[in-house]
Amino acid sequence: MKLVSWNVNGLRACVNKGFIDYLDQTEADIFCLQETKLQEGQISLELGEAYKQYWNYAVKKGYSGTAVFTKIPPLSVRYGMEEDEEPEGRIITLEFDEFYLVTVYTPNAKRDLSRLDYRLEWEDRFRNYLMQLDVLKPVIVCGDLNVAHHEIDLKNAKGNHNNSGFTLEERGKMTELLEAGFIDTFRHLYPERTDVYSWWSNMPGVRARNVGWRIDYFLASARVSSMIVNAKIDCDILGSDHCPVILELDFNMADKG
C-alpha cells in the first residue's frame, strides 16, 4: 500500500505546476493534501473513478484546508477532532479495515510566536485524539506538522533555536506524541540521514542550496513498524514550497513480525 502526503500551498496554483501528472505518476492508493486554500466549488479535479475525494475546507477563504483522495473505500470519515470544532479545516480521519488514517495541517505558532500557546493546547488535544483512535486500531498520521523535531531535521539548527517551528515547546510536543506510542517512519528507517528536507523558504536560492526543514511527516503507531516497506521524501518535486512525503506499507508482514 502506497500513501503520499503533500502540503501543496494552494492547490489551484499547484495544479498549474504539474500536480495531476505527479499524482498519476505515484499511483498512490491514498493521496493526502494540506493547505489546499480552497472553498467548496472553487476547483473541480477530474480524477476518474479511481479516487474518492474528501475535503475539509476552512471557513476563512484562501486559508488552510485538507483533502484526501483514496482508491480504497473508507469505512468512515470524520472531519476535525470534535464535532463542529475545526473551522480551519485542518484534519480528516478515514477509517479502514486495518488502520485509521489522519491527515493534518498543524497550526503554525507564527513568526512572533503569538499563536504558540494556542498551538501547544491544540497539540495536547490532537495527541489525545490519536491515542483514543490507537486503542481501537493502528493509526497513521501524515501531513505538515510544522515542527523540525531534532537538529538533524533542519539545515541551520543553531540559527533557528526558539524560532517558530523549532522552539523547545513545539519540539517537546512532538517528543510527547512519539512517547505516547508513535514512530517517525522516516527516522525509523533512516535515523542518521542528513540534508533531507520537505520545506524550503521562498527566498531566492534557498531551495537550490537545500537550506531546508523536515516538517512533513508520516507517523504511525509503533506496532506498525514491522509493516513499513519504505519511507521517502520526494525532494526533487516542485510545485509548492513543500515537497511530497511517501510511506509504503505491507500489512501482510504483520503475520511475520
The residues that are catalytic are 105, 144
- Three-state DSSP at 186 gives helix
Q: How many CB atoms lie within 10 A of CB 7?
A: 26
Which whole-number Å values give the CA distances from 224 to 25, 136, 254, in the listed order? Answer: 26, 14, 8
Exposed/middle/buried for 2, CB within 10 Å: 0-12, 13-18, 19+?
Answer: middle
Contact predicate 12/36, CB 8 Å? no
For 88, left (φ over 0), alpha (ψ -120 to 50), or beta?
Answer: alpha
Q: How far apart are CA 41 and CA 10, in angstroms?
A: 15
